[in-house]
A and B are shown apart, each in its own frame.
Chain A
Amino acid sequence: MTELSKTGAALGEPAPGNAPDAFLAVRDLKVHFPTDDGLVKSVDGLSFQVEKGKTLCIVGESGSGKSVTSLAIMGLHRLGAQGKHVQMSGEIWLDGKELVSADPDEVRRLRGREMAMIFQDPLSAMHPYYTIGNQIVEAHRVHNDVSKKVARKRAIEMLDRVGIPEPDKRVDGYPHEFSGGMRQRAMIAMALVNNPELLIADEPTTALDVTVQAQILDLIRDLQKEFGSAVVLITHDLGVVAEIADDVLVMYGGRCVERGSVDDVFERPQHPYTWGLLGSMPRIDRETSERLIPVKGQPPSLINVPSGCAFHPRCPYADIPKGDVTRTVRPELQQVGGGHFSACHLSPEDRTRIWTEEIAPKL
């Protein structure tokens, strides 16, 4: 308990139960799904906050819980057939409102109006039988009592804003008639049609080509500047993170292993998993090193998350801390610098030494 409150105090947040200052604040979020094979702990104690006008990137590999986090903020994981079995605890504060304990219909009214989401694959994320225009009109009219005509005008305006040529014609096109990049633009138009203050983007550019990815990231950045919204962007690509993030949260096995400003995380990463991600990436901006430095082994199962530090079976430095602390004690997030947190048993000195002497020179 004391440990928890200590970290809480270190995070500079008000005590649980009270509204935080931040626009979006997530506190000790847990999302568990019971399955036939056991309890899947998709998110297991996650805390972070995002201010308006800022971008937080959540980085992690498949099964790290990053997508479930985004769905949980939107309240989407509770819908559908398996939704009612979800076990969820913690707090999600959006603009002074707590969402985990809120009435589902109240959360629904916030969805699409105050918080909106864009998805990875815009082709499957749009209904194949309705025109792009109709889908945007629908999104607008759910929350605004306006005529179809007015909503349609708004849709065309949004399509124009996201850079779709001839919006008054394309508005009547179907998703399959759009190219991948144009579809994602339309998806963004749909998400932003009600001027949401929080935009969640789940791998928005993963399905796109690099040149299109550059266009879309540019667009998101411009729109954020224009609307001043908070953005939570979920990705596995550190290149995208470096491109767009203000803050970075690295997830592993349903938990946050490192969190900090983008400069902290890229310049002074404090967790071996972050090092692993950086070392795994071939980089176009550096001399080609002969070999990549991969993370050994496989990502953990969320049903049987390894004991102690979830990363210890894959961590090359797991034996440095004395005793078997890495195997038995789960490391808590600890402040390692202003606004920079890491959950690792290595001593700060060890971490700095390993990073500067062993990892950084090889990147």
Chain B
Amino acid sequence: MISYILRRTFAAVILLLVVTAVTFAIFFLLPRMAGQTADQLAQQYIGKSPTKADIAAVKQNLGLDEPLYAQYWHFIKGIVSGATYNLGPTTAHCDAPCFGYSFKNHVAVWPQLTSRLPVTVSLAAGAAVMWLVSGVVIGVISALKPRSFFDRTFMGVALAGVSLPMFFTGNLALLLFTYQWPIFGRTYVPFTENPAQWANTLFPAWCSLALLYSAIYARLTRSGMLETMNEDFIRTARAKGLRERNVVARHGLRAALTPIITVFGMDLGLLLGGAVITETVFSLPGIGQYAVQGITDNDLPPILGVTLLAAFFVVIANLLVDLLYAAADPRVRLS
């Protein structure tokens, strides 16, 4: 078991290195291959009408003139031990882990990310609880009474939920519950300040996001349950004389839900890296919104930072899923 964890952790670290390398290549190598000079590249890091000195400073700070591996080295070194940028009159210090420095706004990326992370976590966690509970419950009921009225209705709703895009359901929810009948708050309040207000503001966003996901989860659960309930061990459980609800809960769900853990972990990981559209629609100051800002400002370091953070979350979620799976299914421990 320990060897398994070590191996998976080791693999996760390698994967993260690969991800940083690829991200790095996209941001620094691709433009060069497309024919941009170091000056042009450096220009992108500064606002409009930069001076020659500014460009030179950025070029020097990022090492854009140096060979690629050296640039990558600076980049990794920054993440591990921080970096100092010389900005002519002043120097800016970017503490470890330095995920970049926005020359346009003169702020390091990392503090921005950490300050916005609680918003994204609040959004993702709340929605996750909602979709997991509703999706699994609907899926189980549908599976137990396949082709029933309930089954058909909810699978129809589920189909709609999957097909409707976030900017439709989200805006509709905003329109109805925040503007038409202002039941819910409009500005994000941290949980630590006022939990009730926190939940109140986030509720429409949770619902919109959960609608999308619970539809997928209901379908997953339904097909998983249908398959599981046909397994031989379910027949054995019934042959023991267990009540049907215990057969479903103890034997069916346990087996059917395990594969769903995998999907859930991945989805949550992805969402933590920024629910871009949801945060934008509901004006939540989260990571996704930060990325959108970076894109609209054509400010590369925030985008790079968000990309890396998202990758980090996905890789970690993946690792956790593997460990959870091993804990849930004793057969996995062998390999």
Contacts and interface: CB of A to CB of B under 8 A. Distances in A.
Q: Do chains A and B touch in the complex (CB under 8 A)?
A: yes
Contacts of B328: 129
A121 B232 CA distance: 8
Interface in A278-304: none
Contacts, number: 81
B241 A79 contact: no
B239 A76 contact: yes
Contact of A127 (B229, B233, B244): B233
A116 B232 contact: no
Nearest to B330: A174
Contacts of A27: none
Contact of B236 (A108, A109, A126, A143): A126
Among B144, B234, B241, the one with the most A-chain Cβ atoms within 10 Å of its Cβ is B241
Interface in A115-139: 116-117, 119, 121, 124-129, 138-139
B256 to A, nearest CB: 11
A139 B235 contact: no
A130 to B, nearest CB: 8
B96 interface: no
Contact of B232 (A124, A129, A174, A191): A124
Nearest to A80: B229
A112 B240 contact: yes
Interface string A67-81: 000000010100111
Interface residues of B, number: 31
B254 interface: yes
A221 interface: no
A113 B239 CA distance: 10
A174 B240 contact: no
A176 interface: yes
Given A111-B239, A116-B239, A129-B254, A124 B233 contact: yes
A100 interface: no
Nearest to A124: B232
A142 interface: yes
A110 interface: yes
B241 A112 contact: yes
B8 interface: no
Q: Interface majority SS on B: helix, strand, loop or mixed?
A: helix
Contact of B331 (A80, A117, A174): A174
B196 to A, nearest CB: 40
A290 B237 CA distance: 47
Interface residues of A, number: 30
Q: Which of A111, A117, A125, A187 has the most CB of B within 10 A?
A: A125
A197 to B, nearest CB: 14
Interface string B251-291: 10011001000000000000000000000000000000000
A187 B236 CA distance: 9
B250 to A, nearest CB: 8
Interface string B200-243: 00000000000000000000000000100111111111111111
Contacts of B144: 81
B251 A127 contact: yes
Contact of A129 (B226, B237, B330): B330
A67 B254 CA distance: 27
| Most chain B CB neighbours (cut-off 10 Å) among A81, A110, A176, A191 | A81
Nearest to A109: B241
Nearest to A75: B238
A111 B232 contact: no
Contacts of A116: 239
Nearest to A104: B244
B4 to A, nearest CB: 16
Contacts of A138: 240, 242, 250
Contact of A125 (B235, B244, B255): B235
Contact of B230 (A80, A127, A142, A174): A80
Interface in A66-111: 74, 76, 79-81, 108-111
Nearest to A114: B241
Contacts of A76: 235, 238-239
A74 B239 contact: yes
Contacts of A125: 232-233, 235-236
Given A81-B146, A110-B241, A143-B241, A176 B330 contact: yes
Interface of B: 143-146, 226, 229-244, 250-251, 254-255, 258, 328-331, 334
Given A81-B146, A81-B229, A112-B242, 16 more contacts: A81-B143, A81-B230, A108-B241, A108-B243, A111-B240, A112-B239, A112-B240, A113-B241, A119-B232, A121-B232, A125-B233, A127-B251, A128-B329, A139-B240, A174-B330, A176-B334
